[in-house]
Structure 1
Amino acid sequence: MKKPLILVTNDDSISAPGIRALIEVMNELGTVVVVAPDSPQSAMGHAITINSMLHLNKVSAEGAAITEYTCSGTPVDCVKFAVNEILKQKPDLCVSGVNHGSNSSINVIYSGTMSAAVEAGIEGIPAIGFSLLDYDWNADFETFKPYIKQIALEVLEKGLPENVVLNVNFPKKKKNELKGIKICRQAKAIWAEKFDKRKTPQGKDYYWLTGEFINLDKGQDTDEWALGQGYISIVPVQFDMTAHHAIQQLNNWNL
C-alpha cells in the first residue's frame, strides 16, 4: 500500500522538542513533510500574514527521508504554504504540535497549534492538534508517543466527521499514572486577565499580559475534568461557528 502523506506543523517553532517527537512518530506511519515557523508563534490563533513579506526556507538536506521547511509566518501561514506551494497533492493527515502547554478548554481559541489544525480541516484534510500540559522545554514527550501513534492511525484508517478536527491534550503524568483516553467536550472556562504595568529605565510605561485560568465547569465530561483525573482528552472541534440553536430566536425578532 502507498504510504500516507503527512503534514507536520506547530507553533513553538521547528526546533521545539515537541515537534521533533511528533515528526519521529509520523515517520513510522507515512511520508512526512514538515512546514513550521522559524520562531515561536504561540497564541497567534488563526492569524495570517498580509502586511509583510513571507519567507520559506528548505532546511532539510537534499535526499533526506523527511522534507522540512521553515516559514517566517504564523502556523496558519505554514499550512497555507504547504497546501498551495509545496505539496503536489493534498496530504492524508495534518498533525500540529506537540505543543508545550495546554490547549484545553477556552485555550483552543487562542492556540496557534489548534489553528493550524483547523486551517488544514478547512482545506478538507483530516487534522489533529496535540498538546502536553507541560511548558518545560525538556518535557517528557516519550511517554505519549504510543498514544500519538494510536490516535493518528485511527484517523488515517477511519477518517473524521466533515468539518471536524481533533484537539488532543496530554496530562502531565508519568506512564504508570495515565488512566487512558476520554472523548470530551470543551470545558467552560475563562481567563481572569490583567496587565502588569512596568516602566523602562527611561520612565516609559510598558505592559505584560498576565492572568489566572478559571474553570467554571463542574461537569465530568469535560477536557479539564479528564486531564485533572489523569486521562488524555480528545475534543472534536468544529470550525463552523454558527450558533445554530440561536437562529430560531433571532427569526422572531422584528427585522
Structure 2
Amino acid sequence: MKKKPIILVTNDDGIIAPGIRALIHAMNPLGDVYVVAPNKPQSGVGHAITMDTVLYCDSVKIDNGNQKEWECSGTPVDCVKLAINKILPRKPDICVSGINHGSNSSINVMYSGTISAVIEASIEGIPSIGFSLLDFDWNADFEVSKKYVYQIVKKILHKTDPISENKISLNVNIPKLKEEDIKGIKICRQAESKWKESFDKRSNPKGRIYYWLVGDFINSDKRIDTDEWALENGYVSIVPIQFDLTNYPILNILKSWNFVFFISILYSWIL
C-alpha cells in the first residue's frame, strides 16, 4: 500500500492561532499531519533564524485530531529546520504555512514569517504553500478558506508538477468574502508596491523616547495580472515564488562588462 503523505504545518501567528487550527483541520484528511509552530506570535520576522540562544521544542496537544504537534520557542524558519532535521520521521511530502491572519500579497512576502517558512522548505526541495486570509481579526471566519486550502493542497499532492524540482513555493491569498462572492482562482505575478512608512515619536511615563512604526500600503501597479488586482476583484490569488533573488536579465548585462578594465581603474584610484 502507498504510504500516506507527510504534511508539515507551521505558521507565524503562533500555534494556538485560529488560522493554523483551521489549516490543520483542512490537512488531516489528506495525510499524516505534523505541526511544528512558534509558541508565540512571530509576524514580520521574515527569514530570521535563532543563533544566539537555545531553542525549545515541546510536544503539545491543542485540540482533538490525529495530528502530532510541537510548539517551538523560535521563528517559523526555525520550526521548519527543526521539523526536517529532528522531529519528522522523514522529509515531508509538502509543507504548508498559515492560514495567516492578514494579507501576504505583493511586497509583504519580503517581511512575512508565514512565507519565509515555506521558502525554507523549498530550499530543501519540499513543495510548499503559504496561505493567508485578508482578515486581521483574531476571530476571523476561516471556513471558506479551508475549502480552497484543501483543494489546492490536494492538487499538488496528487499531481506531478515541477514544484519540488524547481524549488518553488506558492503564495496563496484569499479575499475576505462569502463563498458565493469569490469568483475563482487567479494565477498571478506579484504586484509592484511598497509601504510608505514613518515612525511615530513618543515618550514613556519616565520621559524616555521610543518610536512606533506606522505606514500606508501603496500599490502603484494597476495591471490586471497581479495578485493585488485579483484580490480586489474577488479572486483567490496564487503567485509562484522562489528564493533565488538573482536578476537574470541584469546578470547577462553585467557579464558583458570589461571587469579587468574596471578593476584597473579602481586600483589606480586607490593608489
TM-score (norm 1): 0.97
Q: CA RMSD in A?
A: 1.3
Matches within 5 A, 1:10-21: 10-21=11-22
Query: Are 1:210 and 2:219 an aligned pair?
Result: no
Instruction: Please name the residue that 1:106 is paired with.
Output: 107
Instruction: Please name the residue that 1:54 is paired with.
Output: 55
Instruction: Provide Cα deviations, 1:223-249, integer angstroms capped at 9, x if missing partner.
Output: 000000000000000111111110122
Instruction: Please name the residue that 2:30 is paired with.
Output: 29
Query: Are 1:146 and 2:150 an aligned pair?
Result: no
* Distance across 1 between alignment mates of 2:113 and 2:237: 19
1:92/1:126 contact within 8 Å kept: yes
Shift of 1:157: 1.4
* Distance across 1 between alignment mates of 2:200 and 2:29: 45
* Distance across 1 between alignment mates of 2:244 and 2:51: 23
Q: Tell me the SS of whatever aligns to 2:158.
A: helix
* Distance across 2 between alignment mates of 1:17 and 1:94: 18
Q: Tell me the SS of whatever aligns to 1:134.
A: coil
Instruction: Please name the residue that 2:174 is paired with.
Output: 170
Larger Rg: 2
2:126/2:167 contact within 8 Å kept: no
Shift of 1:254: 3.3
Shift of 1:207: 0.7
Report percent identity of matched pairs.
Answer: 62
Flag structure 2 segments of 5+ consecutive residues without an equivalent: 260-271
1:35/1:71 contact within 8 Å kept: yes
1:96/1:130 contact within 8 Å kept: yes
Tell me which amino acid in the other structure corresponds to 1:46.
Answer: H
Q: Tell me the SS of whatever aligns to 1:28.
A: helix
* Distance across 2 between alignment mates of 1:213 and 1:69: 35
Q: Tell me the SS of whatever aligns to 2:27.
A: helix
* Distance across 1 between alignment mates of 2:215 and 2:200: 9
Instruction: Provide Cα deviations, 1:96-115, integer angstroms capped at 9, x if missing partner.
Output: 00000000000001000000
* Distance across 2 between alignment mates of 1:88 and 1:9: 17
Shift of 1:88: 1.8
1:9/1:78 contact within 8 Å kept: yes
2:55/2:73 contact within 8 Å kept: yes
Shift of 1:160: 3.9
* Distance across 2 between alignment mates of 1:141 and 1:71: 24
Flag structure 1 segments of 5+ consecutive residues without an equivalent: none
* Distance across 2 between alignment mates of 1:128 and 1:201: 45
Matches within 5 A, 1:80-119: 80-119=81-120
1:49/1:77 contact within 8 Å kept: yes
Q: Tell me the SS of whatever aligns to 2:106.
A: coil
TM-score (norm 2): 0.91
Instruction: Provide Cα deviations, 1:54-88, integer angstroms capped at 9, x if missing partner.
Output: 11100139xx7211000000000000000000012
Shift of 1:52: 1.0
* Distance across 1 between alignment mates of 2:13 and 2:68: 18
Tell me which amino acid in the other structure corresponds to 2:126.
Answer: I
Tell me which amino acid in the other structure corresponds to 1:177.
Answer: D
Shift of 1:2: 2.1
* Distance across 2 between alignment mates of 1:228 and 1:15: 29
